[in-house]
Amino acid sequence: MLSSLEIKTFRAFEKLRVDDLDRINLFVGRNNSGKTTILEAAEMMVSEDSAAAIVRCAMRRGEMLVQKEEDRPSRHVDISHLFHGHDCDESACFSIQGQEAGTNVALECEVVPSDSSPNIEKKLFSDAYHLEPRLSLLIKNSSKEESISLPLSISGGLSLDYVRRTNFRASPKTRPVSFVRTETLDTFELHEFWDSIALTEEESNVIETLKILEPSIDRIAFLSQRAYKYSSSSGVYVKLKNLDNRIPLGSLGDGIRHLLTMSLAVSRSRRGFVMIDEIDTGLHHSVMTDMWRVLIKTAQRLDVQVFATTHSLDCLRSLAWLYSREPDLCHLVRLHRVESGRNKTVVYDPEEIQTAANQHVELRG
């Protein structure tokens, strides 16, 4: 597990240090304080394929460029927003450092002149996109012996096709990393999550989690692609006890879909990491304590480290209430308050979370 993070010139942060990370880490703060950015930094730090993690990070925020070529449009991610000041000129850089199991880990990204970058496949890039790159993104990951150099387009974009052509192959020891974003995952993504745990003991555990919101759920199924090609909410069905016909998951509300996504993300990430943006999305305060209980137990059982954000005081109070009833379960939970202009998060252990919640202390900064 990561025990600390230090972020430098990444997105809104000129510098931020996050200490005392534990099994479950919940980040609170005002809008635009950088909570989601911390999740992104952690994701990049622990991902074996740093280039793919950078692409996912930009795509989730819609930071895209479309460059029309002679025969087809070419999609690029606009990496300028990853740098503090939104500047992608030469020498722009950011770094994410941390500690994991007592070992220093680091990820450094810098925009450099192409001629000074090793291993650039210029001909491949020029033939595919009719461009001669002036700059490249140099990625150094402490877990890799060699740096990665990716050519940038004239407008400062990173080609999705080029990243895919690097043909990264995960090793058998690669730790899974899952990111649950605020907006709903489409059915294809959910299907991939489900396939990774289908016909294992985790399948029944996921169904038990869904019973927090709908106790009569008996089974869940993902139908063929033709069944859900028109909507992100179709294709997933549940079987309820005492009903013969199957029920579309969407008929049970957004909360159960979010709970399904979270449960699948944790269940598929054994000995890995899960990032959950706005963990309370779609969930009524009355079920949050049960959500926390299941999440903490599953993360401990599968050795998963969780990073999550929330805006909800009810979410915090439910965590405090759980600690008052089951303190041994919550001892690996930490709350981190993110404040604009402060270069270090304020950390609360479970007892301090309970005290603050009982006294109605404002934890959002």
Average pLDDT over residues 304-328: 94
173 in any annotated domain: no
C-alpha Rg value of the chain to the nearest Å: 22
pTM of the model: 0.90
Average pLDDT over residues 83-91: 90
Average pLDDT over residues 303-322: 94
Spatial distance between the Cα atoms of 191 and 180, rounded to a whole number of angstroms: 14
pLDDT exceeds cutoff 80 at 70: no
Give tens-digit pLDDT for 185-227.
777 788 888 899 988 999 999 999 999 999 999 999 888 655 4
CB-based contact 31:43 (threshold 8 Å): no
Residue 200 corresponds to which tokens in the numbers above? 């294992």
Instruction: Pick 273 or 363 by higher pLDDT.
Output: 273
pLDDT of residue 159: 84
- Domain total of the chain: 1
pLDDT of residue 87: 87
Most confident of 16-25, 55-64, 68-77, 143-152: 16-25
- Rounded to the nearest integer, the mean pLDDT of the chain is 86
Q: How many residues does the chain have?
A: 365
pLDDT of residue 239: 94
pLDDT of residue 310: 94
Q: Write out the residue range of the structural domain in which residue 212 sits.
A: 187-268
260 in any annotated domain: yes
Instruction: Pick 232 or 49 by higher pLDDT.
Output: 49
Give tens-digit pLDDT for 119-139.
545 555 555 554 557 889 999
202 in any annotated domain: yes
262 in any annotated domain: yes
**Picking from 73-87, 227-241, 246-260, 275-289, which range would have the lowest pLDDT averaged per residue?**
227-241
Give tens-digit pLDDT for 94-119.
999 999 989 999 999 999 998 755 55
pLDDT exceeds cutoff 90 at 322: yes
Q: Which residue carries 């604009």 as its tokens?
A: 340
- Give Cα 63 to chain centroid, integer Å: 16
285 in any annotated domain: no
Spatial distance between the Cα atoms of 14 and 34, rounded to a whole number of angstroms: 11
pLDDT exceeds cutoff 80 at 331: yes
CB-based contact 274:305 (threshold 8 Å): yes
In angstroms, the first-to-last Cα distance of the chain is 27
Element (H, E) at 321: helix 313-325
232 in any annotated domain: yes
pLDDT of residue 130: 47
102 in any annotated domain: no
Percentage of the chain surpassing pLDDT 70? 85
CB-based contact 27:16 (threshold 8 Å): no
- Per-residue confidence band for 250, with pLDDT thresholds at 50, 70 and 90: confident
pLDDT exceeds cutoff 80 at 260: yes
pLDDT of residue 71: 53
Instruction: Pick 32 or 269 by higher pLDDT.
Output: 269
DSSP letters, 261-287, are HHHHHHHT-TTSEEEESSTTTT--HHH
Element (H, E) at 247: strand 247-248
Distances from the Cα of 142 to the Cα of 53, 96, 139, 172, 235, angstroms: 15, 11, 10, 19, 41
- Per-residue confidence band for 162, with pLDDT thresholds at 50, 70 and 90: confident
pLDDT of residue 21: 98
Average pLDDT over residues 321-328: 95
159 in any annotated domain: no
Element (H, E) at 309: strand 305-309
- Give Cα 228 to chain centroid, integer Å: 25
Instruction: Pick 167 or 309 by higher pLDDT.
Output: 309
**Picking from 41-50, 65-74, 142-151, 155-164, which range would have the lowest pLDDT averaged per residue?**
65-74
Largest CA distance in the chain: 68
Spatial distance between the Cα atoms of 196 and 185, rounded to a whole number of angstroms: 16
